[in-house]
Chain A
Amino acid sequence: MKFLDTILGRTKPKPANLDALFAVPGAAITLEAAMGFTSAGSAAVCFKPASAYDFASTCTEIGELLELSGKDTGSEVSQSEDSYGYHWIVIRDPDVSDLVTTVHMVNSTLAERGYGNQLLASVFAFRGESGGVSYLVYLFKRGTFYPFVPEPGGGEKRDNQRELQLQGALQGEVPLEADLTRWFPIWGAPVP
């Protein structure tokens, strides 16, 4: 079918894969033990807003859901938009499994409403012992994770060495993105 789609110039929306998200709490424990990285207590979901009116109401619905669930888990939730026009839902909670549950809920709600192909990435923030921020990025379309470590001090440079260290530490914990060209930088993520 792939061949036929190419020949006929069809674009098939790629459904988002959410299953691997639940491996994050385990990975957080490993990172702390192996490299002294602790959760920064925040995570964020990034998606591309669709232009349909229905999408706006879906976002409102998610906001209401989050408020409800936030009362249970004690998570703090905020929303923002970045310079690329992508929408972020930021979740703050010291407990990593609560973060994952909430992130999964946001994602599955969007997917259920048919906006799974609008999902870009989920980002979990970690802090090293020196205080620098590292991100564990989950690519929905690939169902894989990769590390993203911006060099401290801005300037849009990434610390590749640290990223590769993280990759080594996470081996076997989470499905890692094997294709290094897909390790897209996410500058200016609104977390931690």
Chain B
Amino acid sequence: MSTTRGYPRDAGLAARMTFVMFLLGLLYVAVMAALIAAGVNFAFVFILAAGLLFAQYYYSSKIALFSMHAKEVSPAEAPQLHGIVDRLCALADMPKPRVAIADTDVPNAFATGRNPSDAVVCATTGILRRLEPAELEAVLAHELSHVAHRDVAVMTIAGFLGVAAGFITRSMFWFGGAGIGGGRGRGRDEENEMLLIMLVSVVVYAISFLLTRALSRYRELSADRGAAIITGAPSTLASALVKVTGAMGRIPTRDLRAAEPFNAFFFTPAAAPGFSFSSLFSTHPTLEQRLAQLAELERQMGHPA
């Protein structure tokens, strides 16, 4: 067969992502080992957390569509949007996801669903109105890359430990913590143990939070890369990014705050202006990072592998 115009693999990105996943795994093992060594029975917390997360994962598409007031559209209702998705799926050789539109002026798009055949891509009316067809296509290619990379599954699994640790902290606070202040009925050792467990959970939660955020940023860069590969036009995605992030800053704050919990799989996070995440806590890489990667891809495209 012929050569394929190659983007050389981004070994650095893959290495960083692997490292973050390794740290998450390590944290997981360490927590498990510590719990077993301490003889603490937190099985119920883990089962609860796993159950909740599984439900969230299983119903991810329904939850996301419902909370965004998004409505699934048929090809007859949105022929152009369906046409773009049809063609992208044929180019990328993936099953066609369902297509939805959310009626909000925040220009954004997201993809969700537990696997490629259950997936939904959703665009807001704001983004449909603002972007040129080619730019919209690039954005949808980014979302389809999330689907192909199974990011909902990856991020759910990655987030498990953080959720479990959060549960432990909270349950200690409500049930165990009551005894800590004036604990007459308890032994001193027991109180200390409680405090220690709580402290450890907080630390575990913090570390896993930072790691999952880092992972999320790498997944975004991967999806940008995927979009560039599918469409063959990194600069189009770059111009869409600039347009969308530029326009998002001008949207009224209240609307944006309402949208914040759904940031994880958004094309760009809906952060209110003036409220600056430090880059460490952000789910998305900075615009500069994303543009730099796309510019590099555009440069590489000029030179066949």
| B145 within 8 Å of A (CB atoms) | yes
Segment of A11-19, A31-39, A62-70, A160-168 engaged in the interface with chain B: A11-19
B90/A10 in contact, CB under 8 A: no
Interface residue from B151, B222, B234, B305 paired with A11 (Cβ < 8 Å)? B222
Residue B50 interfacial (CB < 8 Å): no
Contact of B234 among A51, A121, A187 (CB under 8 A): A51
B: number of interface residues (CB 8 Å): 54
Interface positions of B from 3 to 58, Cβ below 8 Å from A = 3-7, 9, 14, 17-18, 21
The segment from B203-211, B225-233, B272-280 found at the interface with A is: B225-233
Task: State A14–B144 Cα separation when bound (angstroms).
Answer: 15
B230 touches A54 (CB 8 A): no
List the B side residues contacting A11 at CB < 8 Å: 92, 145, 148-149, 222, 225-226, 229-230
Count A-side interface residues using an 8 Å CB cutoff: 43
Q: Is A112 in contact with chain B by the CB < 8 A criterion?
A: yes
Neighbouring A residues of B149 by C-beta, 8 Å: 6, 9-11
> In the complex, A51→B237 CA distance in Å?
11
Interface residues of chain B: helix, strand, loop or mixed (majority): helix
User: Main secondary structure on chain A at its contact with chain B?
Assistant: loop
- Alpha-carbon separation in the docked complex, A49 to B137 (Å): 13
Give the nearest-CB partner of B82 in chain A: A185
Q: How far is the CA of A52 from the CA of B297 in the complex (A)?
A: 10
Q: Does chain B have a CB within 8 A of A72?
A: no
Is there a chain B Cβ closer than 8 Å to A117's Cβ?
A: yes
Evaluate contact between B79 and A114: CB separation under 8 angstroms.
no
* Interface-central residue, B5, B9, B76, B84, by most chain A CB under 10 Å: B5
Say if the beta carbon of A126 comes within 8 Å of chain B: no
Whether, in the assembled complex, A102 has its beta carbon less than 8 Å from a beta carbon of chain B, the answer is no
CB distance from A75 to the nearest CB of B (A): 23
Task: Check if B87 is an interface residue, CB within 8 A of chain A.
Answer: yes
A interface with B by C-beta (< 8 Å): 6-15, 48-55, 83-86, 108, 111-118, 120-121, 139, 141-142, 156, 179, 181-182, 184-185, 187
